[in-house]
Amino acid sequence: MGLPEIMLAVLWVGLTAYVLFGGADFGGGVWDLLSGGAGTGHRRRELVEHSIGPVWEANHVWLIFVIVLMWTGVPSVFAAVASTLYIPLTLAALGIIARGSAFAFRKASTRLWQRRLFGATFAFSSVVTPFFLGTAAGAIASGRVPPGIARGDLVTSWANPTSLTAGALAVGTAAYLAACYLTRDAERTGQPDLAEEFRRRALVTGVVVGVLSAAGLLVLRADAPGLFAELTTGRALPFLVLSVVAGVASLPLLWLRRYREVRVTAALAVVGLLWGWGVGQYPVLLPGVTLREAAATTSVLAASLGSLAFGAVLLVPSLWWLYATFQREHTAGGKQAGP
């Protein structure tokens, strides 16, 4: 395995972390949107806020990581993607900014109309952002981003069957992960009624995401037959099988209220789908462009990966400590997230 392959593998690990952590973060906003009125939905929103409050900023570190590594590791691919898909990527960036600002301002607001305004912005952005990120992924997967600066169609590159299906799947996956994670958080904080509620939501959302995934395969068969073949009969098949098995296993675990275990199977279902796409498309990054052709020079890759390894010594333990400390405090407090 050469430096380009190592770089791509590390990039995909970062993307996986963003999908699992940032995706669940967005999913919390989806459930915030569907929590009901100010009175009936207060405890649900308190649980969501308590779950993502300490980590929502840290989750976006993974997105920055992916962007920087793509920029330095495969600069020509970065340029093509950023220029052809600047509309959905700009909308996603605005969504991230609006979402973070609204989340912070809602906590500091004292008037009801302000809390409602910022809450609506937070919730709406939590749906829009993963959708547009999904459409960008669908554009790359379906081969609609040609090499070069803005060589692809600025609208149909991301407004097409594969992209729209990927966008819907991104929103559904985020909501599913969040519901699975929130069941455990509600149980740990002594709120069995909320755990039951999010359990039901996770069951329904899991079925919906399964149907969307099956529909996505049918769309790929017509729209991106090469990737479809790799997923169903090629080297990416084991990852697709992993996704299906883990997704199916999550449903009885939810039914039996095994909330700790379902966090693992739900994450594996998403990981299988994401890595199936990556393995199925490898080594082609853009139409007619392979990883070896797009990769930066050996000196740039070596310097980037070396700097990354040095930084990881500090960053990874810090992130682990953040998540672990928050979970321990959450457990030890034994208090309800709601009033």
Show pLDDT as tens, one digit a residue, over the chain (339 residues). Answer: 899 999 999 999 999 999 998 888 889 889 988 887 766 778 888 888 877 766 677 778 889 999 999 999 999 999 999 999 999 999 999 999 998 888 888 878 878 788 888 888 988 999 999 999 999 999 999 999 999 999 999 999 999 999 999 999 999 999 999 999 999 888 888 899 999 999 999 999 999 999 999 999 999 999 989 899 999 999 999 999 999 999 999 999 999 999 999 999 999 999 999 999 999 999 999 999 999 999 999 999 999 999 999 988 988 888 888 777 766 644 433 443 332
Vertex 266: Cα angle to 313 and 173 (nearest 5): 95
Question: Torsions phi, psi of 148, nearest 5?
Answer: 110, 170
- Coil vs helix vs strand at 145: coil
The pLDDT assigned to 334 comes to: 42
CATH topology of domain 3-298: Formate dehydrogenase/DMSO reductase fold (1.20.1630)
Angle between helices 23-33 and 161-188 (to 10 degrees): 80
Domain boundaries, the chain: 3-298
Q: Residue 311 — left, alpha, or beta (φ > 0 → left; ψ -120 to 50 → alpha)?
A: alpha
CA 121 to chain centre: 19
**pTM for the whole structure:** 0.91
